[in-house]
Amino acid sequence: MKKVYIVLEDGHVFEGERFGAEGEAIGEFVFTTGMCGYVETLTDPTYYGQIVMHTFPLIGNYGIMEEDFESDKSYIKAYVVREWCDAPSNFRCQYTLDEYLKKQGIVGVCGVDTREITRVIRDNGVMNAIITEDPSKVDFNALKAYKLTDAVATVSCKEKYTVESDAHSKKVTLVDFGKTKSIIAELTKRGCDVTVVPYNTSAEEILALGADGIVLSNGPADPKDNMAAVEEIKKLIGKAPMLGICLGHQLAALALGGETVKLQYGHRGANQPVKSTESGKTYITSQNHGYEVDAKSLDCGFESFINANDGTCEGMKYADKLLVTTQFHPEACISPLNTHYVYDEFITMMGGND
């Protein structure tokens, strides 16, 4: 296997081995702590433009199954693991991790000390990195200046479409900022016909669809890169019951005059603890974000969930505006199912399935 190097913008260099696709890759370097769910991680549009590293040491042991994809393709720049499994064992397996990365044109790196790299990112913060075979030629000025552009525009659908349920009891409009398929699955399972619209659909067009409720989806990058969408969300709030998830949670807060702040290294993985301020219960959740809502900057609503590790905002409720938002992914199939009730609350806000 060819030698390849991970070069961080602060000068750290880590030697590894190449797998997956050939070539170089540059992107924001992040780590995820999930012990399973690498298929969902690879296909989550929220990872757009990032170099993703798993802290769990063995990845690929149950192979790749297209049924578990959260989107039709992967948007990550590169994939870093301690060890990848070349002989997966699972009756559902369709092909190996290496084959998937080659198919998607994604550079892979293995054989690195992922614990050491995690400590560097945890202590110094998320930073840009490049995967290269010649670290001596890295232009550090260009590396530091690298920034994601057009993230939401790239991952959002291009045209409106509808996914129908069996019951047809409610109509929901899902604004696609980089949605996962699991969101649609949770809504259709509850009898909702879901019309998915592009991120730049106007409020007037959304309201003209006459849906019983509106969902603002998850998505990648800095929420403040989407201020045009924020202006449209302002026009939607209070007009119909709304649910915001991940990026949707952040955009809703911006629309209500709040602020978002970049976290040092973010929350990524299927084992993130959040505590309900209403019940006092703690839930293990799936998350994937690098920014938080500053709850203190909002003069409306209340903080419904907080992160049990660092106390950051994990959810807001704005009862007088028929708006509920969560930073975590209540629909994620790679985490415990105990926060699926968020969707039931949304159904209730729309008047239930009567």
Return the closest-CA partner of residue 180 out of 218, 144, 150: 218
* DSSP 8-class letter at 44: -
Looking at residue 352, its pLDDT comes to: 74
Indicate whether 266 and 159 sit together in one domain: yes
For 66, the domain range is 3-148
Indicate whether 65 and 85 sit together in one domain: yes
The domain boundary residue, chosen from 148, 165, 186: 148
Indicate whether 113 and 215 sit together in one domain: no
- As a whole number of angstroms, the distance between CA 176 and CA 156 comes to 5
Looking at residue 150, its pLDDT comes to: 95
Indicate whether 112 and 47 sit together in one domain: yes
Contacts of 307 (CB under 8 A, 6+ apart): 267, 272, 273, 274, 275, 313, 314
Indicate whether 89 and 169 sit together in one domain: no
Told to judge if 110 belongs to the known catalytic residues of this protein, a careful annotator would answer no
Told to judge if 246 belongs to the known catalytic residues of this protein, a careful annotator would answer yes
Distances (CA, A) of 264 to 30, 261, 298: 11, 10, 22
Question: How far apart are the two ends of the chain, measured CA to CA in Å?
Answer: 60
Indicate whether 32 and 77 sit together in one domain: yes
Told to judge if 192 belongs to the known catalytic residues of this protein, a careful annotator would answer no
Indicate whether 83 and 217 sit together in one domain: no
0.75 exceeded by pTM: yes
Question: Does residue 111 lie within any of the structural domains?
Answer: yes
Strands 192-198, 170-176: parallel, antiparallel or unpaired by DSSP?
parallel
Q: In a structure prediction context, what are the per-residue pLDDT tens digits for the chain, which is 354 residues long?
A: 899 999 999 999 999 999 999 999 999 999 999 888 999 999 999 999 999 999 999 999 999 999 999 999 999 999 999 999 999 999 999 999 999 999 999 999 999 999 999 999 999 999 999 999 999 999 999 999 999 999 999 999 999 999 999 999 999 999 999 999 999 999 999 999 999 999 999 999 999 999 999 999 999 999 999 999 999 999 999 999 999 999 999 999 999 999 999 999 999 998 899 999 999 999 999 999 999 999 999 999 999 999 999 999 999 999 999 999 999 999 766 555 678 889 999 999 999 765
Domain count, the chain: 2
Indicate whether 139 and 157 sit together in one domain: no
CATH number at residue 45: 3.50.30.20
Crossing angle between the packed helical segments 247-255 and 227-236, to the nearest 10 degrees: 70
Question: Does residue 230 lie within any of the structural domains?
Answer: yes
CATH number at residue 269: 3.40.50.880
The domain boundary residue, chosen from 123, 148, 173: 148
Indicate whether 215 and 112 sit together in one domain: no
Strands 25-32, 127-132: parallel, antiparallel or unpaired by DSSP?
antiparallel
Indicate whether 243 and 263 sit together in one domain: yes
Q: Which is catalytic among the residues 186, 246, 289, 313?
A: 246
Q: Which is catalytic among the residues 28, 232, 314, 331?
A: 331
Distances (CA, A) of 225 to 174, 229, 247: 20, 9, 11
Give the burial class of 93: count Cβ atoms within 10 A of its Cβ; 0-12 exposed, 13-18 middle, 19 or more buried: middle
Indicate whether 65 and 212 sit together in one domain: no
- As a whole number of angstroms, the distance between CA 289 and CA 244 comes to 14
Indicate whether 79 and 125 sit together in one domain: yes
